[in-house]
């Protein structure tokens, strides 16, 4: 449904820029970038924007591999997917000094491990993946991964998981205290067995409705991205975002320049546009995540600067990136995922 609405919105944007001075084709996560911001970009530059959306890093990669290269100019993969796309030779290179606003990047995100030297990408938004719990249904301690994998009776059967192998298996590894992408057979077996047991407590796997089912009360717990959780809370759900003591997943989405981008100049302009604090703050205000650009904090609306979803408490466990597994481990991960959903 969202996909349809975004496509319709994309048409609307194209229609307004009748006297186009260029095109820009974006491949983006759903419900993430505010429509006004795209319109502002068109107004400032005269560049027509068309946007398609996806609901997981993997489906974006699949669409690009199945003929999407050469269609899109920029995409917005998460950290580990930037790594995979660089490895697959799918990203174009940004020359030194080509981005006028490159200096605006926060030092912490200017030289990340997944794209050393930011040769292919700019920071977009970062946040965490954990879960939110309905406080009307459950009043006990929620800052533990047991809520997802070994839940109390009140929550059993009312849990939604993200329909995303990477984030479910990363969280499961954190729960078991084993390294991600472990090659140890005993650990992999334990992971498989633990998930088989946990599935009995789960109601569904869903990513793009993870906010709505918390608001409607269909699920009492949902694994969720922090900003999406904040939105659900702002829409009236009595929920609390958990920071498990065992740890949780952190991520950084980056805007990447795709290889063979048909409108490379427009893509560079768009990246410079998103490095302006004022513009990237608009994304943060809409999506409720955190920007990777200096000078945004004064532009945030509401309680964004202080809300729990954006501010891990001191006693939270460590936040870790999803790791890129080797092929041999990935094959076992696929098997575990199929076992889980068979």
Partner 1 sequence: MAGGATTGGAARAETYAGVRNWLLLPSWLVLCILVLAPIGIMLVYSFLTKEFRGGVIWEFSLAAYDQFFCDRGLFGDEPCSIEWTYITIFWRSIWQAGAATLLALLIGFPTAFFIATRPERSRPLWVFLITVPYWVNLLIRTVSMKFLLRDNGPMNDALIGMGVIAEPITIINTNLAVQIGLFYSYLPFMVLPIYAAVERFDFRLSEAAADLYASKWVTLRRVVLPAVRPGVIAGCILVFVPSLGAFLAPDLLGGAKNFMIGSLIEEQFKGSAGNWPFGAAAAMILLSMVLVILLISARQSQRSSA
Q: Which residues bind partner 1 (CB under 8 A)?
A: 1, 4, 56, 58-59, 61-62, 65-66, 84, 88, 160, 163-166, 185, 188-189, 192, 199, 202-206, 216-218, 327, 330-339, 341-342
Of the two residues 63 and 299, which places its CB atom closer to partner 1 in the complex? 63
Of the two residues 132 and 279, which places its CB atom closer to partner 1 in the complex? 132
Q: Is 276 annotated as a binding residue?
A: no
Q: Is 323 annotated as a binding residue?
A: yes
Of the two residues 4 and 18, which places its CB atom closer to partner 1 in the complex? 4
Which residue carries 């505010």 as its tokens? 34
Report in angstroms the alpha-carbon separations of 297 from 175, 253, 285: 33, 19, 11
Least distance between partner 1 and beta carbon 328 (Å): 9
Least distance between partner 1 and beta carbon 341 (Å): 5
Least distance between partner 1 and beta carbon 89 (Å): 12
Q: Is 289 annotated as a binding residue?
A: no
Least distance between partner 1 and beta carbon 317 (Å): 24
Pairing of strands 239-242, 121-134: antiparallel
Q: Would you say how long the chain is, in residues? A: 342
Least distance between partner 1 and beta carbon 128 (Å): 20
Of the two residues 99 and 325, which places its CB atom closer to partner 1 in the complex? 325
Of the two residues 209 and 263, which places its CB atom closer to partner 1 in the complex? 209
Query: Buried (b) or exposed (e) across 208-231, using 16+ Cβ within 10 A?
Result: bbbbbbbbeeebbbbbbbbbbbbb
Return d(Cα 324, Cα 9) in angstroms, integer. 34
DSSP string, 123-155: EEEEEEEEEEEETTT--S---STHHHHS--TTT
Rounded to 10 degrees, what is the CA torsion of 282, 286, 291, 295?
Answer: 40
Q: Which residues are annotated as a binding site?
A: 31, 80, 323
Q: Which residues are annotated as a binding site for spermidine?
A: 31, 80, 323
């Amino acid at each position: 449904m969202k996909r349809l609405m975004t496509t319709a919105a994309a048409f609307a944007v194209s229609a307004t820029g009748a006297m186009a001075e260029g095109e820009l084709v974006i491949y983006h996560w759903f419900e993430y970038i505010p429509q006004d911001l795209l319109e502002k970009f068109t107004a400032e530059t005269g560049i027509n924007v068309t946007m398609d959306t996806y609901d997981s890093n993997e489906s974006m990669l699949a669409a690009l591999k199945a003929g999407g290269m050469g269609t899109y100019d920029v995409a917005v993969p998460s950290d580990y997917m930037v790594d995979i796309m660089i490895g697959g030779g799918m990203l174009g290179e940004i020359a030194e000094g080509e981005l006028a606003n490159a200096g605006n990047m926060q030092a912490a995100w200017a030289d990340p491990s997944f794209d050393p030297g930011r040769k292919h990408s700019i920071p977009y938004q970062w946040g965490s993946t954990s879960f939110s719990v309905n406080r009307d249904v459950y009043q006990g301690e929620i800052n533990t991964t047991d809520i997802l994998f070994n839940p109390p009776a009140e929550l059993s059967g009312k849990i939604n998981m993200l329909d995303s192998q990477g984030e479910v298996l990363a969280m499961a590894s954190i729960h078991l205290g084993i390294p991600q992408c472990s090659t140890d057979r005993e650990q992999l077996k334990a992971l498989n067995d633990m998930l088989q047991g946990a599935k009995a407590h789960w109601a569904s796997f869903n990513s793009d409705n993870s906010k709505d089912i918390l608001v409607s009360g269909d699920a009492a717990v949902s694994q969720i991205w922090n900003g999406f959780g904040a939105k659900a809370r702002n829409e009236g759900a009595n929920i609390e975002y958990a920071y498990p003591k065992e740890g949780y997943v952190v991520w950084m989405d980056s805007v990447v320049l795709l290889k063979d981008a048909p409108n490379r100049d427009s893509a560079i302009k768009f990246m410079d546009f998103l490095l302006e604090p004022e513009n990237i703050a608009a994304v943060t205000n809409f999506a409720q995540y955190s920007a990777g650009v200096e000078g945004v904090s004064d532009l945030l609306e509401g309680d964004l600067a202080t809300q729990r979803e954006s501010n891990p408490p001191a006693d939270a466990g460590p936040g870790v990136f999803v790791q890129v597994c080797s092929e041999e481990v990935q094959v076992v991960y696929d098997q575990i995922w199929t076992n889980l959903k068979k």
